[in-house]
Amino acid sequence: MSTELTPQPPLDRRDQERRGRQDQRRRAQLTEIELRGRQLGEMRFHSDPLGSPDPAVARLVYDDLDVAITADVKAGKTRHNLLSWPVRQVPKVVAVIDCVVLYTFCAVILNVPLDDPLSSPISALAAGFLAILAAGASYLWLALTGNRTRTFRDDFGEVRWSLLGATSWIMIGVSLVLVATLSLLMYDRILAELVDSLDQGQTPIAPSLALAFALISAVANLCVVAVHAFDGSAESELRRTLGRLLLRRQRKIQRWQRRAVKMMGRTEAGADRTGAVSGSGERTGA
């Protein structure tokens, strides 16, 4: 039997070269995926409470907070208790309602017809901008007041009013003036709508209904402060923020790891096929 090797046909040689190039591309992609996964594991977070911590520091802070909060909960302290998700959405709903009320008020001032605002697009746009600006600023201030008040709660969730300083009292005073202003606007809009829609014999009840809606508006805006003040503690909020950051980063790393495993399988399969083709060529003519 002849032991000389016969040269491979050109078609098999080109196919083998093509498979080799594909294998090189897959290995390059695998290297890139592995580098990207390591970069994600070392990349700093963008977290306002802690600046830009690296994942190791964030994990240590999260673990320390988790141990401390768990110990407080076991001891019966309730200041870390979080409100339910529907209750935490109440401030956003109140902000939207305030924006609608402020828009109608601004529309009346700028002579924008509420039934056809597109007839005066510039004025309607200005009214919408002013309403969003006023509602956003109101929500921000009330939320800041609530967050400020939350820092003075004791272990059982009660606000220690005697510890509040001048800045905190000024913030609370401005919030009360703001809530009273929003309630007055609600009273004015409801009263105007009721006077226009009710019959002459029913107009005496319009002030009472408008006052009721104004009181509801005041309670709703005070809820913005209350939700931010009683939704856990500063420690539990920081733990929740770090938990989201760590979980989001872990999911990204896992996605890149799955891509690396998949690409590694393709690379090994391509190498096996290339080796099989090369082996079959070497055995030809044996």
3-state secondary structure 212-250: HHHHHHHHHHHHHHHHHHHCCCHHHHHHHHHHHHHHHHH
Residue 218 clears pLDDT 90, i.e. is over it: yes
- Of 10-24, 47-61, 76-90, the least confident: 10-24
pTM for the full predicted model: 0.70
Residue 156 clears pLDDT 70, i.e. is over it: yes
Read off the pLDDT band of 41 (50, 70, 90): low
Read off the pLDDT band of 79 (50, 70, 90): confident
Residue 155 clears pLDDT 80, i.e. is over it: yes
pLDDT at 39: 60
pLDDT at 38: 63
Place of tokens 């400020």: 148
The pLDDT tens digits for 162-208 are 999 999 999 999 999 999 999 999 998 888 888 777 665 556 788 88
Quick one: which of 168, 154, 145 has its CA closest to 227? 145
Q: Which residues contact residue 175 at a Cβ distance below 8 angstroms, ignoring those fewer than 6 apart?
A: 141, 142, 145, 225
Q: Which is it for the CA torsion 145, 151, 157, 161, positive or negative?
A: negative
**Residues 71-100, mean pLDDT to the nearest whole number:** 90
51 forms beta bridges with 47
Whole-number Å distance between alpha carbons of 127 and 200: 31
pLDDT at 286: 46
Residue 284 clears pLDDT 50, i.e. is over it: no
pLDDT at 19: 64
Residue 16 clears pLDDT 50, i.e. is over it: yes
Residue 34 clears pLDDT 70, i.e. is over it: no
Task: Locate 141 and state its tokens.
Answer: 């201030």
pLDDT at 199: 61
Average pLDDT of the chain, as a whole number: 79
Task: Locate 274 and state its tokens.
Answer: 């290339």
* Helix extents (H) in the chain: 10-42, 55-74, 85-88, 90-109, 121-150, 166-197, 206-230, 234-283
Q: Which residues contact residue 176 at a Cβ distance below 8 angstroms, ignoring those fewer than 6 apart?
A: none
Q: Which is it for the CA torsion 73, 78, 84, 88, positive or negative?
A: negative
Place of tokens 């979080």: 82
Core vs surface per residue 203-219: b (16+ CB within 10 A) or e:
eeebeebbeebbeebbe
The pLDDT tens digits for 226-282 are 999 998 888 888 888 888 888 887 787 777 667 766 766 656 555 555 555 455 544
